[in-house]
Amino acid sequence: MLKINNEFESAFRMYRKKYYELNMHMSEYIWTYKEMHTLLKKYLDQMNLASSYFQLSFRSMRTSMILWITKLFDEKESSSLNDFLNFIQANIRFMSLEYKMHRTNADQHAYWIRDSKDVSIKDINEHRAKLKSLKPTINKIITLRDKYHAHLDKAFVRNRKAFLVENKIKWKELEYLPKLCNEIIAFYSTAYDGEYRLQAPINWNDLENLLKPLAEHGIG
């Protein structure tokens, strides 16, 4: 007879909460950093009213973005998405339809379980493959972290411009990261108990709300 595994139940909820929070932090830094770059062209005069502040903000936002991305996508980090997939694979028997129906005392007509199915190794491997496809991007981000944002490498100091050109990252590469993270977490969350969240950063346009009135009144 199936028994409810309370250790797994508690651990899954902890993992879900943790990864949703990590992804939200990462998303906010990526989108805010992009917004700052977009507004730089539009409100340069207004930003120059506090140029030192905005220079510091750009550097701080970039460093935070790099560090939060590596928390989720560097395989060596204990908080990486690969660690989450390892947890799912190790407990895959508790993601079966039979176990879920037993846990919820639900029949096959329950609203969230109606279209549910067993989580398979194939599902996990497909998500691992998607993470692996990001290796070129993630390697550049890890290099930026290790050579500049977390440490200051002599090679970076000697040739900063060439180093940054070599490790340039496109916006579309950055924007895809929180989308994939949300996709992976939401897939297993939905399979677990039907809970689905579509994460999106909030208040990332606050800066324009501040700069626009200045420009409209000719300040700057």
The label of the residue with tokens 């199915």 reads 117
Return the pLDDT at 155. 64
Return the pLDDT at 154. 64
pTM: 0.86
DSSP letter string over the chain? Answer: -----HHHHHHHHHHHHHHHHHHHHHHHHHHHHHHHHHHHHHSHHHHGGGHHHHHHHHHHHHHHHHHHHHHHH-TTSTTSHHHHHHHHHHTGGGGSHHHHHHHHT--TTSTTTTT-----HHHHHHHHHHHHHTHHHHHHHHHHIIIIISS--HHHHHTHHHHHHHT---HHHHHHHHHHHHHHHHHHHHHHHS--------STTHHHHHHHHHHHTT--
Please tell me the total number of residues recorded for the chain in this structure. Answer: 220
- The b/e string for 116-148 (b: 16+ C-beta within 10 A; e otherwise) is beebeeebbeebbeebeebeebbeebbbbbebb
Return the pLDDT at 108. 52
Which of these, 136, 207, 206, lies nearest to 177 by C-alpha position?
Answer: 136
Domain ranges of the chain: 6-196
Return the pLDDT at 146. 83
Q: What is the pLDDT of residues 48-78, one digit of tens each?
A: 999 999 999 999 999 999 999 999 999 999 9
Return the pLDDT at 65. 93
User: What is the block-wise mean pLDDT of the chain (220 residues), using blocks of 10 residues?
Assistant: 84 96 94 91 93 93 93 94 97 90 66 79 98 95 80 61 69 94 95 85 82 88
d(CA 41, CA 212): 13
